[in-house]
Structure 1
């Protein structure tokens, strides 16, 4: 084997762990997202590792503590949801159809995993989180403003109202007995979306919820 071949083999050997590590990290984040939706963010790491199909040591190598894992899950969900919003804005000609498409796609992303960010102990000011949050807020507001400008969206709702509804409908009540409600999510989202359409059929109590409202702990 010549020097070039030797170098190529060495490069492949060193690249494999990196690829494996990336796959393991993605499996951990995916498993954690599912489990946070089902049972909350306090699930033991052993259970997350088991669902991800990795060892505890692998999980801790990627995420040394619960705070790091929860933050990664939240950022991952927000990033993927932002991509869905971008696609809806770019590909749908009708404003309300774009908003409806986004809402249903976001539900499939199980954004109920964002619930930990509402906790008073969650670090809401981490740079990664702030960047992901700002991005999704701008995109969802763009979807809503487009529908509002077209006269299709009632004027008394804001981004927070939309995100609360999707989050609640994608997070079942704790316990395995409630997992079957998944099959009703899109049906109930459709009912919710019908209620968002203008003209409004009733006056909503209180004020429109912004994401800033959701971040308050008092």
Structure 2
């Protein structure tokens, strides 16, 4: 269990399909360290739910009636009162303009709707821990998208970083967890977390997902 017994990870579900919401809730509530605290059928309801319940993680569908998941994500991440709420997008698409827009809006991770239940639970835990998670196929498509961009469009901010921080940023861009980065670089978890903290501060990034964007834009992946 990644969370203390008296404080499970609080999850909200935003999707316009009642059957899917209920199925996800059953899976999530079946884990001892997770609990569903609310459901929403639209982006507007998702934002209201975030303000009312302040969940740790919101599972967000992108294409919903009225206010869509992208705008809901943008509102949530822009609200200082909701700084502790992280958005994990569930999508049927490996990559399209909706996914890229959601990433720019502040989503912390992306998981395909056909993922295994265990992958969903682990994604929630990692998202709550600040370790943004991207489905492997989405990572590949993101890389392809940013590699095709003209060099002039890249964000040049690497002069702010040390050599080790740049190395860590590249591994974050590959979707590695803190444990995996520590093993790859043969350093401690504490040191990895220090580097991540420095990267967030130097690159003015809200969370790890924005570090992934920076890694792609600077062609570190």
Normalising by the smaller structure, the TM-score range is under 0.3
Quick check: which one's strand share is greater? 2
Quick check: which one's helix share is greater? 1
- Asked which structure has the greater RCO (Cα within 8 Å, sep 6+), the reply is 1
**Which one has a bigger Cα radius of gyration?**
1
Query: Structure 1-normalised TM-score?
Result: 0.27
